[in-house]
Structure 1
Amino acid sequence: MHNNLLKRLPELEQLSSNADKLSSELPHLNLRDKTDELLHRCANLAEALEARVTFYEAVIEKMDAFETLLETLSSRVEDLKPLVEDVLQATGPMEHMELQAKQTLIQV
Structure 2
Amino acid sequence: MKSWLLGLLLPFALVQDKTYTVGEVMRNARRLHNDSTTVQLIGYFTKKLNNNNYVFEDRTAEIHVNVPPKFLPERPLSDREAVTIKVWVEYEMDKPITLTVNQPIN
Q: Shorter-chain-normalised TM-score: which range? A: under 0.3
Larger strand share, 1 or 2: 2
> Of the two, which has the highest radius of gyration?
1
Q: TM-score, normalised by structure 1?
A: 0.23
Larger helix share, 1 or 2: 1
Q: TM-score, normalised by structure 2?
A: 0.23
